[in-house]
């Protein structure tokens, strides 16, 4: 019986064996999750019963590109009209985030089912899951979690697929899609646990950044929330659970700094509330302890703030200004060495850096007008002019953050392939070795003769506005100055050996240089290197021992898994990026 037909059956569930495959790698024995080529894989009646339990929301996992291919395994998938639609929207983030399983960073899907012009070319699932529950109620999520736990399946929680580290994708998995949880309720006065008595909002897991900004601006009077710079990021999903930085972070802290309560479903399939009074350990861990790690978050209650005026500047140095590498590099050093100055004035700065191109879009200056903005940026302009660095820039001011955001921020382009890394540089790092940091970032644009890079920077300091917090976010964030994501660029069709070589460049050439230049710094769990050395300390610092303890309490069996998150030390993905297995204690 084909997988599509299984879902139409209405048979009673049959329990399958719990254990998965046992693998031996060298002297290490692993117990794997259960996959479709194992005898423990749930039989047709079990999948049919799950489909009944979730009201028909269980679907076969079909990559978006499958519409351009005749077959996906046994399934006939070619659809000329849908193929044209996918091709037209392949770089449309909203289209992809609305898809049941798509990942905006396709490297971790294995790029084995892409839209193309020849329907006869092969299409496989690659590293995508087998089935997806398109959850519309909490009961659907609960059923999926229980099913995955009882059958030892790899479980993926997928909200938007906006994920640089592949955590929204997992080979042979059962996926729970939370994207439809779009509710948002605003309150003039919060009356729940904790010390906050200002305005607040309860936001469903599927809400995206720009959606939430729009809803907040529609309130009377308008309010703001701390969200990311990217409009399609799943705000109430992995964004908050990893910490969450954004344009208002320097004045209001990280996204997780502002959480008042979580509604969640545990690894046992239990509904829980986590806040200052109920399950405070889980509350603490969900605020920055890592995505899809402790529970499935269904809704978050968060502080909101009055709207603020914002001024901003876009500045460029590129090949239209100079092709002299020394001149360009000095321009970047001047700009980045002023990071402490920007954040001390409440700024957030977003920039993109590659060979011969610096695009700052934009400087974000909350509670500033054009006059005060230019006053803060005067040292930058003066130093660039003194060094004879050519550039262009323009500035604008807006009465509200929302109007600023809609005008001056640019949408990103998805479906690029790269190996990601990054580094958080503290104010101490910048003050003591600013030029060394700038040189390391410039090197990341061409780390070897055969490799090229692309960096995305965020000059930000949550400690400026929120110096003291009680959550899982790395304490180094309180003294932050600049956080930069680095990318080693790929085509996406490289062999496994070449992929591993690119990962090595990211970790041991680019990452090594960044760590050496910023020894007081840290890394960021949502946007970092999957192979970061000493990742426990690098991602969470002194918070890690407590996080590990909380993980063992709330998910001792490892129902949830995302790489380099608390409690995953004994887990590895074997067989060329496919099967998730745990080192055996035997």
Phi and psi torsions of 317, nearest 5°: -130, 120
206: in domain: yes
Quick one: which of 571, 568, 566 has its CA closest to 544? 566
pLDDT by residue for the chain (586 residues), tens only, comes to 333 333 333 222 333 344 689 999 989 999 999 999 999 999 999 999 999 999 999 999 999 999 999 999 889 999 999 999 999 999 999 999 999 999 999 999 999 999 999 999 999 999 999 999 999 999 999 999 999 999 999 999 999 999 889 999 999 999 999 999 999 999 999 999 999 999 999 999 999 999 999 999 999 999 999 999 999 999 998 999 999 999 999 999 999 999 999 999 999 999 999 999 999 999 999 999 999 999 999 999 999 999 999 999 999 999 999 999 999 999 999 999 999 999 999 999 999 999 999 999 999 999 999 999 999 999 999 999 999 999 999 999 999 999 999 999 998 889 999 999 999 999 999 999 999 999 999 999 999 999 999 999 999 999 999 999 999 999 999 999 999 999 999 999 999 999 999 999 999 999 999 999 999 999 999 999 999 999 999 999 999 999 999 999 999 999 999 999 999 999 999 999 999 999 987 5
Domain CATH number, residue 353: 3.40.462.20
In the sheet with 184-187, reading across from the earlier edge strand, the strands are 184-187, 200-204, 296-303, 259-265, 271-275
402 and 508 belong to one structural domain: yes
Question: Which residues sit opposite 134 in a β-bridge?
Answer: 177
How big is the chain, counted in residues?
Answer: 586
548 part of a folded domain: no
Q: How far apart are CA 15 and CA 392, in angstroms?
A: 66
Instruction: Give the pLDDT score at 8.
Output: 35
- Both tokens of 91, joined, read 């770089």
Across the strands, what pairs with 488?
419, 453
Q: Say how many C-beta atoms besides its own lie within 10 A of residue 284's C-beta.
A: 20
Q: Is 196 exposed, middle or buried (0-12, 13-18, 19+ CB in 10 A)?
A: middle
The Cα 389–Cα 334 span in angstroms is 10
List b or e across 165-194, with b for residues whose CB sees 16 or more CB atoms inside 10 angstroms.
Answer: bbbbbbbbbbbbbbbbbeebebeeebebbe
Q: Are residues 298 and 410 in the same domain?
A: no
**Number of Cβ within a 10 Å radius of residue 388:** 10
Do 167 and 206 fall into the same domain?
A: no
**How far from 472 is each of 194, 240, 249, 546, CA to CA, in Å?**
17, 11, 17, 9
Provide the pLDDT for residue 534: 97
- Map tokens 């074997």 to a residue: 574
Structure tokens at 284: 């603490």
Do residues 226 and 249 touch, judged by C-beta distance below 8 A?
A: yes
Domain identity same for 240 and 366: no
- Per the CB < 8 A criterion, the answer to whether 513 and 444 are in contact is yes
Residues 21 and 141 in one domain: yes
Residues 200 and 221 in one domain: yes
**Is residue 223 domain-shared with residue 346, that is, in the same domain?**
no
Question: Which of 272, 306, 340 is the endpoint of a domain?
Answer: 306
C-beta separation of 179 from 98 below 8 A: yes
What pLDDT is stored for residue 67 in this prediction?
98
CB 286 within 8 A of CB 241: yes
The Cα 284–Cα 472 span in angstroms is 6
Looking at the fold, whether 13 and 119 belong to one and the same domain comes out as: yes
Exposure of 68 by Cβ count < 10 A (0-12 exposed, 13-18 middle, 19+ buried)? buried
23: tokens are 């693998």
Of 132, 152, 176, which residue sits at a domain end? 176
pLDDT at 154: 98
Rounded Cα distance between 4 and 244, Å, is 38
Tokens of 357: 């191109």
d(CA 252, CA 214): 19
Q: What is the pLDDT of residue 412?
A: 85
pLDDT at res. 11: 26
Residue 261: CATH number of its domain = 3.30.465.10
Q: What share of the chain is helix, strand, coil (3-state, %, to 5)?
A: 35, 25, 45
DSSP classification of residue 239: I
Range of the structural domain that residue 124 is part of: 3-176
Measure the CA–CA gap between 247 and 362, rounded to whole angstroms. 10
Beta bridge partners of 351: 360, 457
Distance CA 231, CA 214 (A): 11
Question: Is 318 found in the same domain as 292?
Answer: no
Residue 334 lies in a domain: yes
Instruction: Answer yes or no: is 551 within a domain.
Output: no
Could you count the other beta carbons within 10 Å of the beta carbon of residue 158?
Answer: 31
Residue 478, CA atoms < 13 Å, CB-side half-sphere? 13
In a domain, 552, yes or no: no
Backbone angles phi, psi at 127, to 5 degrees: -100, 10
Please choose, from the candidates 442, 445, 447, 456, the residue with its C-alpha nearest in 3D space to the C-alpha of residue 413: 456
Q: Is residue 579 part of a domain?
A: no
531 and 421 in a common domain: yes
Helix, strand, or coil (residue 362):
strand
Residue 367 in domain: yes
The answer on 250 and 158 residing in a single domain is no
| Dist. CA 516–CA 502, nearest whole Å | 20
- Do 118 and 189 sit in the same domain of this protein? no
Total structural domains in the chain? 3
Q: Which of 176, 199, 220 is the last residue of a domain?
A: 176
Is 558 part of any domain? no
In order, the DSSP letters of 37-85 are: TSTTSPPHHHHHHHHHHTTT-EEE---GGGGGSSEETTEE---HHHHHH
């Amino acid at each position: 019986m084909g997988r599509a037909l299984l879902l139409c059956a209405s048979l009673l569930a049959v329990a399958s064996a719990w254990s998965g495959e046992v693998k031996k790698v060298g002297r290490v024995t692993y117990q794997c999750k259960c996959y479709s080529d194992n005898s423990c894989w749930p039989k047709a009646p079990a999948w049919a019963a799950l489909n009944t339990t979730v009201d028909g929301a269980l679907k076969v996992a079909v990559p978006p590109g499958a519409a351009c291919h005749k077959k996906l395994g046994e399934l006939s998938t070619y659809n000329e009209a849908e193929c044209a639609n996918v091709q037209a929207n392949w770089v449309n983030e909203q289209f992809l985030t609305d898809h049941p399983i798509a990942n905006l960073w396709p490297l971790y899907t294995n790029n084995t089912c892409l839209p193309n012009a020849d329907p006869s070319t092969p299409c496989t699932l690659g590293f995508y899951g087998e089935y997806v529950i398109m959850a519309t109620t909490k009961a659907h999520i609960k059923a999926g979690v229980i099913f995955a736990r009882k059958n030892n399946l790899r479980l993926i929680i997928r909200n938007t697929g906006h994920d640089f580290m592949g955590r929204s994708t997992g080979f042979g998995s059962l996926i729970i899609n939370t994207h439809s949880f779009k509710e948002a309720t605003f309150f003039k006065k919060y009356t729940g646990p904790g010390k906050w008595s200002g305005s607040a909002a309860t936001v469903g897991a599927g809400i995206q950044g720009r959606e939430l900004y729009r809803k907040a601006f529609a309130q009377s009077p308008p309010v703001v929330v701390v969200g990311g710079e990217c409009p399609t990021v799943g705000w109430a999903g992995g964004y908050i659970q990893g910490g969450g930085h954004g344009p208002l972070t320097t004045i209001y802290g990280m996204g997780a700094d502002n959480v008042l309560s979580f509604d969640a479903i545990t690894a046992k399939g239990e509904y829980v509330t986590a806040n200052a009074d109920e399950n405070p350990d889980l509350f603490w861990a969900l605020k920055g302890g890592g995505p899809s790690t402790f529970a499935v978050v269904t809704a978050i209650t968060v502080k909101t703030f009055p709207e603020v005026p914002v001024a901003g500047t876009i500045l460029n140095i590129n090949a239209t200004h100079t092709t002299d590498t020394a001149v360009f590099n000095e321009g970047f050093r001047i700009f980045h060495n002023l990071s402490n100055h920007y954040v001390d004035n409440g700024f957030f700065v977003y920039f993109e850096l590659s060979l011969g191109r610096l695009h700052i879009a934009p400087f974000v200056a909350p509670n500033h007008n054009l006059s005060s903005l230019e006053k803060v940026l005067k040292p930058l302009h003066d130093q660039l002019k003194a060094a004879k660095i050519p550039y262009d820039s323009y500035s604008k001011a807006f009465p509200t953050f929302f109007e600023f955001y809609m005008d001056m921020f640019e949408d990103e382009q998805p479906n690029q392939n790269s190996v990601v890394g990054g580094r958080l540089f503290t104010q101490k790092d910048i003050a003591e070795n600013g030029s060394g940091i700038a040189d390391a970032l410039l090197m990341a644009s061409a780390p070897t003769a055969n490799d090229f890079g692309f960096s995305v920077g965020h000059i930000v300091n949550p400690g400026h506005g929120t110096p003291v917090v009680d959550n899982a976010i790395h304490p180094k964030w309180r003294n932050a100055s600049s956080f930069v994501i680095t990318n080693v660029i790929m085509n996406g069709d490289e062999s496994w050996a070449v992929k591993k070589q690119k990962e090595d460049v990211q970790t041991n050439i680019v990452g090594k240089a960044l760590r050496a230049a910023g020894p007081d710094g840290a890394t960021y769990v949502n946007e970092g290197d999957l192979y970061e050395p000493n990742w426990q300390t690098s991602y969470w610092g002194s918070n890690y021992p407590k996080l590990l303890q909380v993980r063992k309490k709330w998910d001792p069996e490892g129902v949830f898994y995302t790489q380099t998150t608390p409690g995953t030390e004994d887990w590895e993905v074997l067989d060329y990026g496919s099967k998730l297995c745990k080192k055996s204690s035997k």
